Chains A and B, each alone.
Chain A
Amino acid sequence: MSFGKARWNVRFSGWGFNGMLTFAIVAVLATMVLALIRNLFGPTEYDRMLAANSFGTKTVLLIALGGYALSWNSFLDVALLYALLNFVGTIAAMRFFEYGRSSDESEESEESEGPGEPGDRQNLNPQNVDPQNLSRSESSL
């Protein structure tokens, strides 16, 4: 990264708190590593979704701060783009996570999709909560 260091010095010369930006970037990187660990070891899938969302938000910060420090070209466009895409990815994960189970169940009475679904009930939720009762109680809320 010697080429990167040469550009680094351009931004940092002659400031009072010239270590602050570096400290902030290092802190954001450390948080990204922590979120990655949670992504690998999260016991449930919801933890992994949360960790991926956190990772994405920290990435926006990293691109914004790092791009300013390293004088990248049009870095704010990429940061803005990534903030949007992180959101879309999180919503997609939530939508597809249940593998359309709740929407397939609501269609069962109309289409009679048959016994195709019991296979995924076992390996989805380690909690073994009955989803029918849950959705009914949720709708009564």
Chain B
Amino acid sequence: MIAVSAIRLTDLFAVVMLFGVYSLLTAALFMDLDAVDVAFTEAAVGAGVTTVLMLSSLHLTKRWEATPRRNPAVSLIVVGVTGAALVYAMLDAPLLGDPSDPVHQHVSPRYIEQGPTEVGVPNLVTAVLASYRGYDTFGETVVIFTAGLAVLLLLGVRDDPRKLRSGMDLVGDQVILRSVVKVLIPLILLYGLYVQFHGDFGAGGGFQAGVIFATGFILYELVFGEKVARAVVPPRWLHRLAAIGVLIYGGVGVYSMLAGKAFLDYSALAEDPIDGQHLGILLIELGVGIAVFSVVLLIFYAFSGRSRQQ
């Protein structure tokens, strides 16, 4: 119902609010399916960052949706055919949770039974994400980095100090808001650090922590204005930080290759393999967190730094 009304409304501001609501319901659904890490990431990204980014792009474009000039029947046919093809391809796949699924026969029991002994980390999701499937996570981090690169190439971050606006507008001159936000931002950053390092035991990990950390700085820029925020975290640092995050991740892999084992095999990092796993997971989560934080903040800088050109 929310999706239908989001499509039918032409007031894009209301649509952005509805998207926030929709992603929240999806996060609740994920939690009901016992996937807490995914719900965490969905809530962090969908409710916070996506809403903010969509609002900044609304700022750049028009607020009311223009009526489409072409006949929508063609696009409807294309979407329908593609959807039908996808559904047909999925008919052969086993049902969710089917015990005779090859994933549940061979791969999952190995992870579940031997995860705690081989990796030594209580949160199985982190163990799979960071250690068993570390190469996939490396690919995800590089994808995030590439997205940041694409935004930089397309939009660019304005670095001219004369053109930045200070925060004295209808949000920035509220005294109560500024005082409370000054106290709140360190707490948000502390919570981000907690999530980063708690990922081994509960829900958490690098992606969520990076997003929460970036949200703290986004709040700072929203309330205090661009001049101050860009003085605190200049965009050049963000360029370097994004690259450093990916480099840390890749560096761990290359180091283990230089030590004689396979790429991203953490047991090469210390004498005891379990300690090596712990150290390796710590380092790559750090790399992921730094990369996600800098890319999200960079995208926000790129969007919010532009005024409407007409």
A-B contact count (CB 8 A): 161
CB closest chain-A residue, reference B180: A87
Assess A78 versus B32: contact at CB under 8 Å? Given A48-B14, A96-B56, A103-B169: no
Q: Are A95 and B171 in contact (CB under 8 A)?
A: yes
CB closest chain-B residue, reference A77: B203
Q: Known A-B contacts: A81-B212, A91-B177. Give 13 more (CB < 8 A).
A: A62-B28, A70-B32, A72-B32, A73-B202, A75-B36, A84-B188, A85-B47, A86-B47, A89-B20, A93-B55, A95-B170, A95-B171, A106-B169
CB closest chain-B residue, reference A42: B14
Assess A91 versus B202: contact at CB under 8 Å? Given A72-B34, A78-B27, A85-B48: no
Contacts of A111 in B (CB 8 A): 163
Q: How many residues of A contact B (CB 8 A)?
A: 55
Contacts of A72 in B (CB 8 A): 31-32, 34, 36
Q: Are B56 and A82 in contact (CB under 8 A)?
A: no
B39 within 8 A of A: yes
Cα of A62 to Cα of B58 in the assembled complex, Å = 30
Cα of A85 to Cα of B11 in the assembled complex, Å = 23
Tell me which residues from 266 to 310 in chain B have a Cβ below 8 Å from any Cβ of chain A: 307-310
Contacts of B310 in A (CB 8 A): 116, 119
CB closest chain-B residue, reference A41: B14
Q: Are B31 and A67 in contact (CB under 8 A)?
A: yes
Assess A98 versus B36: contact at CB under 8 Å? Given A77-B202, A78-B27, A78-B203: no
Cα of A86 to Cα of B43 in the assembled complex, Å = 10
Contacts of B212 in A (CB 8 A): 81, 84
Cα of A56 to Cα of B20 in the assembled complex, Å = 9
Contacts of A66 in B (CB 8 A): 28
Q: Are B28 and A89 in contact (CB under 8 A)?
A: no
Q: Are B59 and A100 in contact (CB under 8 A)?
A: yes
**What mask results when residues 112 to 136 of chain A are scored 1 for a CB within 8 Å of chain B, else 0?**
0100100110011000000000000
Cα of A63 to Cα of B42 in the assembled complex, Å = 14
Tell me which residues from 175 to 229 in chain B have a Cβ below 8 Å from any Cβ of chain A: 177, 181, 184, 188, 191, 195, 198, 202-204, 208, 212, 215, 218-219, 222-223
Separation in Å of the B229 CB from the closest CB of chain A? 12
Tell me which residues from 30 to 49 in chain A have a Cβ below 8 Å from any Cβ of chain B: 36, 39-40, 42, 45, 48-49
Cα of A107 to Cα of B227 in the assembled complex, Å = 14
Contacts of B168 in A (CB 8 A): 103, 106
Assess A116 versus B55: contact at CB under 8 Å? Given A84-B188, A88-B218: no
Q: Are B171 and A78 in contact (CB under 8 A)?
A: no
Q: Are B40 and A123 in contact (CB under 8 A)?
A: no
Q: Are A88 and B222 in contact (CB under 8 A)?
A: yes
Contacts of A123 in B (CB 8 A): 63-64
